[in-house]
């Protein structure tokens, strides 16, 4: 039996030095490569968790550079912590939704996900680590705060003195008293999908010649998409492209939006384009849906899924409710009103959906940042969304654009865009937000010039959220400015970047007139873009003439 080892380290040197947010701790790979850096985080985590005797832990990552090294360290430390069992994906691979599914299926006490999600990978890229709790969802703030505080004090690292485990073959190993099982990354997740969707109908859709192009962006979604779409649902070989997870994602930026998934967008614009395009991000929890020459706004995607959910076996009994993050467009609110179900508005970040899902008050959730999911796990789920769309196309006989345009005809179109200003100086970003906050009390009632019809500012605040389940309050979640016609501007700073600050400006305007639904979103939103500049002096504070990324 390998002996336990303890190592004494200088307290706080090097400590993670960052509050792990919703998405855990994200840093450059070079930061994680510092001796004992990852170890200190993991020790802090294990120190704040209760005794692990009899408990199961799930461990896996998106396969990016440093994944394998990190997993071996975690396995040795988990054995020292005393877990009864650790489940680790073959090759160290597990998507974020698969970790969530495994935690729930095996009643594990938690899981560790190694990913920096949609951030680039490779030796020069980013790495990340996050802890999910027993419901399968991201640890709440009370836990991440405790980890952070403990990480400042950790002085003893507990580990096992043993060689690396062979993770590329399925099998069982004993580390000290811990059973480590190397499991197939796809099996449990695939079983869950089979129970939700009409696989027969999707199989018939592909058999009829329906063509899909799924771009896994050389990230962890590949093995899942290949197994289900090509392996089980009869999609032709080659449907899933960039399907092998690479340590540097082949140099791609695995963020599925029209700016980063340019190859897919170009394919979908060609005369011989497939019927549908889809992509997922680094850890496969995000999704992008495209039709022929048509990009679906993530907010519209959520609304379409909600509107037709009853046609999908897993949701045939209807939805308890829906939830969206505050900056996400109000398209789903209109669907909820029609369906007579509640619609919750939460701060940005999937953890805020956890209580609503656990309490059975929301069934579908979504964010404008290409994230959709349901109560089947406690993370957003990229392939799940793609299967949902395929099921709807099979059930309705309508194409991707037809489903979206039908939504617009019924509810009007929510023109929507997000402008990101990346890599700006943190103090400038804070100054911009501070300037806005100081103006807030003076804004309501003010007339807004330059719009098609006369508008005033109806509401201006810094979004605060009271969790309807546990009553906890989250303040300063984004400055929102709402006009009398419901148009909105939202300003917030990103919590997931690793270089400087990122300002996100979210723009939304509802258009009832079908004659104007084919307008380009940037043109439809131009007056709001001008209003944002006038109120926040974005160019001045960011030093950027244009957003770095517009989605
Ligand atoms: C971004 C998105 C947010 C999402 C988060 C994690 O956060 O805006 O909607 O939940 O990333 O996504 P921020 O703070 O940078 O705006 V991912 O795919 O890391 O799991
Ligand atoms: Co992600």
Instruction: Give 434's Cβ-side CA count (13 Å radius).
Output: 7
**What's the pLDDT at 18?**
62
Residues in CB range of 157: below 8 A, 6 or more apart? 6, 7, 8, 9, 36, 39, 40, 43, 77
Q: How confident is the model at residue 19 (pLDDT cuts 50, 70, 90)?
A: low
DSSP reduced 3-state for 6: strand
Tell me the mean pLDDT in the region 8-28: 66
- Ligand 1 centre from 288 Cα, in Å? 14
Q: Which of 78-82, 208-212, 257-261, 290-294 has the lowest mean pLDDT?
A: 257-261
Q: Which percentage of the chain shows pLDDT scores above 70?
A: 96
- Ligand 2 centre from 355 Cα, in Å? 20
pLDDT > 90? residue 199: yes
Backbone phi, then psi, for 100, in 5-degree steps? Answer: -60, -45
**What's the pLDDT at 454?**
80
**What's the pLDDT at 10?**
59
Tell me the mean pLDDT in the region 450-479: 91
Q: Which of 7-11, 318-322, 359-363, 442-446 has the lowest mean pLDDT?
A: 7-11
CA–CA distance, 474 with 351 (Å, rounded to integer): 12
Tell me the mean pLDDT in the region 513-528: 92
**Which atom of ligand 1 is found nearest the CA of 349?**
10
**What's the pLDDT at 14?**
56
pLDDT digits (tens, 9 = 90+) for 388-435: 999 999 999 999 999 999 999 999 999 999 999 999 999 999 999 999
Higher-pLDDT residue of 10 and 218 is 218
> Which domains are present in the chain?
4-185 (3.40.120.10), 189-411 (3.40.120.10), 413-550 (3.30.310.50)
Ligand 1: which residue has its CA nearest to atom 2?
369
Across the chain, what does the average pLDDT equal?
A: 94
pLDDT > 60? residue 57: yes
**Residue 439 Cβ < 6 Å to ligand 1:** no
pLDDT > 60? residue 12: no
Nearest alpha-carbon partner for 55 in 77, 81, 90? 81
**Which atom of ligand 1 is found nearest the CA of 496?**
15
Q: Where are the beta strands (DSSP E) in 202-309?
A: 212-215, 240-241, 276-280, 287-291, 294-295
Quote the tokens at residue 132. Answer: 């999910």
Ligand 1: which residue has its CA nearest to atom 13?
494
Q: Which percentage of the chain shows pLDDT scores above 90?
A: 87
**Residue among 371, 381, 385, 476 whose CB has most ligand 1 atoms within 8 A, to mutate:** 371
- Ligand 1 centre from 345 Cα, in Å? 16
Tell me the mean pLDDT in the region 232-239: 97
SS3 for 357-423, per residue? Answer: HHCCCCCEEEECCCEEEECCCCCCCHHHHHHHHHHHHHHHCCCHHHHHHHHHHHHCEEEEEEEEEEE
- Ligand 1 centre from 349 Cα, in Å? 6
- Ligand 2 centre from 137 Cα, in Å? 13
Q: How confident is the model at residue 140 (pLDDT cuts 50, 70, 90)?
A: confident
Query: Per-residue DSSP letters for 443-461?
Result: -TT-EETTSSS-EEEEEEE
pLDDT digits (tens, 9 = 90+) for 179-191: 999 999 999 999 9
Tell me the mean pLDDT in the region 434-445: 94
**Residue 119 Cβ < 6 Å to ligand 1:** no
**Residue 504 Cβ < 6 Å to ligand 1:** yes
**What's the pLDDT at 41?**
93
Tell me the mean pLDDT in the region 510-532: 93
**What's the pLDDT at 495?**
82
- Ligand 2 centre from 63 Cα, in Å? 13
Backbone phi, then psi, for 532, in 5-degree steps? Answer: -60, -45
Q: Strand pairing partners for 112?
A: 59, 131
Tell me the mean pLDDT in the region 519-532: 93
Q: Which of 8-17, 23-32, 402-411 has the lowest mean pLDDT?
A: 8-17
Q: Strand pairing partners for 9?
A: none
Quote the tokens at residue 418. Answer: 């997000």
Give the Å distances, CA to CA, from 3 to 6, 45, 158, 490.
Answer: 10, 22, 11, 55
**Residue 23 Cβ < 6 Å to ligand 1:** yes
Backbone phi, then psi, for 145, in 5-degree steps? Answer: -65, -40
Q: Angle at the Cα of 135 (from 133 to 137), degrees rounded to 5?
A: 60
Tell me the mean pLDDT in the region 344-364: 96
**Residue 348 Cβ < 6 Å to ligand 1:** yes
pLDDT > 70? residue 175: yes
pLDDT > 90? residue 5: no
**Which atom of ligand 1 is found nearest the CA of 350?**
10
**What's the pLDDT at 297?**
97
Ligand 1: which residue has its CA nearest to atom 5?
349
Ligand 2 ion: residues within 5 Å (CB): 117, 281, 283, 285-286
pLDDT > 60? residue 13: no
- Ligand 2 centre from 414 Cα, in Å? 25
**Residue among 132, 349, 463, 498 whose CB has most ligand 1 atoms within 8 A, to mutate:** 349
Tell me the mean pLDDT in the region 37-44: 93
- Ligand 1 centre from 497 Cα, in Å? 9
Q: How confident is the model at residue 141 (pLDDT cuts 50, 70, 90)?
A: confident
Ligand nearest to the CA of 477: 1
pTM of the model: 0.94
**Residue 56 Cβ < 6 Å to ligand 1:** no
**Residue among 369, 380, 417, 491 whose CB has most ligand 1 atoms within 8 A, to mutate:** 369
Nearest alpha-carbon partner for 283 in 60, 115, 88, 110? 115
**Residue 287 Cβ < 6 Å to ligand 1:** no
pLDDT > 60? residue 103: yes
Q: Angle at the Cα of 287 (from 286 to 291), degrees rounded to 5?
A: 170
CA–CA distance, 370 with 292 (Å, rounded to integer): 19
Ligand 1: which residue has its CA nearest to atom 4?
349
Sign of torsion over alpha carbons 312, 315, 319, 322: negative
Instruction: Give 362's Cβ-side CA count (13 Å radius).
Output: 29
Tell me the mean pLDDT in the region 152-158: 89
Q: How confident is the model at residue 269 (pLDDT cuts 50, 70, 90)?
A: very high
**What's the pLDDT at 152?**
87
Q: Known catalytic residues? A: 117
Q: How confident is the model at residue 1 (pLDDT cuts 50, 70, 90)?
A: low
Tell me the mean pLDDT in the region 148-175: 93
Give the DSSP H or E segment for 146.
Answer: helix 141-151
CA–CA distance, 261 with 280 (Å, rounded to integer): 10
**What's the pLDDT at 24?**
79
Q: Which of 88-92, 216-220, 472-476 has the lowest mean pLDDT?
A: 472-476
**Residue 496 Cβ < 6 Å to ligand 1:** yes
**Residue 130 Cβ < 6 Å to ligand 1:** no
**Which atom of ligand 1 is found nearest the CA of 367?**
9
């Amino acid at each position: 039996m390998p002996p336990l080892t303890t190592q004494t380290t200088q307290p706080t040197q090097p400590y993670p030095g960052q509050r792990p947010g919703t998405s855990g701790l994200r840093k450059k790979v070079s930061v994680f490569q510092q001796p004992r850096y990852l170890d200190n985080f993991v020790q802090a985590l294990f120190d704040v968790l209760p005794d692990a005797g009899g408990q199961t832990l799930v461990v896996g990552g998106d396969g990016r550079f440093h994944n394998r090294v990190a997993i071996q360290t975690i396995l040795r430390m988990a054995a020292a912590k005393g877990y009864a069992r650790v489940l680790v994906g073959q090759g160290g691979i597990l998507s974020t939704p698969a970790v969530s599914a495994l935690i729930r299926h095996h009643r594990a006490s938690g899981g560790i996900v190694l990913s920096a999600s949609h951030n680039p990978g490779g030796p020069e890229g980013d790495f990340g680590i996050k802890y999910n709790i027993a419901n399968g969802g991201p640890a709440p703030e009370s836990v991440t705060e405790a980890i952070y505080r403990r990480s400042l004090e950790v002085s003893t690292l507990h580990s096992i003195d043993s060689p690396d485990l062979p993770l590329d073959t399925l099998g069982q190993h004993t580390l000290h008293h811990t059973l480590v099982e190397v499991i197939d990354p796809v099996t449990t997740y695939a079983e869950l999908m089979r129970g939700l969707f009409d696989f027969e109908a999707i199989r018939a859709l592909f058999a009829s010649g329906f063509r899909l192009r799924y771009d896994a962006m050389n990230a962890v979604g590949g093995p899942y998409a290949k197994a289900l779409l090509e392996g089980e649902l009869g999609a032709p070989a080659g449907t899933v492209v960039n399907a092998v997870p690479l340590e540097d994602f082949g140099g791609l930026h695995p963020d599925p939006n029209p700016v980063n998934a340019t190859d897919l967008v170009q394919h979908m614009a060609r005369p011989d384009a497939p019927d549908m395009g889809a992509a997922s991000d680094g850890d496969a929890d995000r999704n992008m849906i495209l039709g022929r020459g048509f990009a679906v706004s993530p907010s519209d995607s959520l609304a379409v899924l909600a509107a037709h959910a009853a046609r999908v076996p897993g949701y045939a009994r209807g939805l308890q409710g829906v939830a969206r993050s505050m900056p996400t467009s109000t398209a789903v609110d209109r669907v909820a009103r029609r369906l007579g179900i509640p619609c919750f508005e939460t701060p940005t970040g999937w953890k805020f959906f956890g209580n609503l899902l656990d309490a059975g008050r929301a069934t579908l959730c979504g964010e404008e940042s290409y994230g959709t999911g349901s109560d089947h796990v406690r993370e957003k789920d990229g392939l799940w969304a793609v299967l949902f769309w395929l099921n709807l196309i099979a059930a309705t006989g309508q194409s991707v654009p037809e489903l979206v345009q039908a939504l617009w005809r019924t509810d009007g179109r929510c023109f929507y865009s997000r402008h990101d200003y990346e890599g700006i100086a943190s103090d400038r970003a804070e100054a911009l937000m501070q300037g806005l906050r100081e103006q807030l009390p003076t804004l309501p009632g003010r007339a807004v010039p330059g719009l098609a019809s006369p508008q005033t500012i109806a509401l201006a605040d810094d979004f605060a959220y009271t969790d309807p389940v546990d009553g906890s309050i989250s303040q300063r979640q984004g400055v929102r400015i709402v006009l009398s016609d419901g148009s909105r501007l939202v300003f917030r700073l990103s919590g997931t970047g690793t270089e400087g600050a990122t300002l996100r400006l979210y723009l939304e305007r509802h258009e009832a007139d079908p004659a104007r639904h084919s307008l380009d979103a940037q043109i439809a939103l131009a007056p709001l873009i001008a209003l944002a500049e006038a109120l926040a002096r974005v160019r001045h504070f960011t030093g950027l003439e244009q957003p770095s990324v517009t989605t």
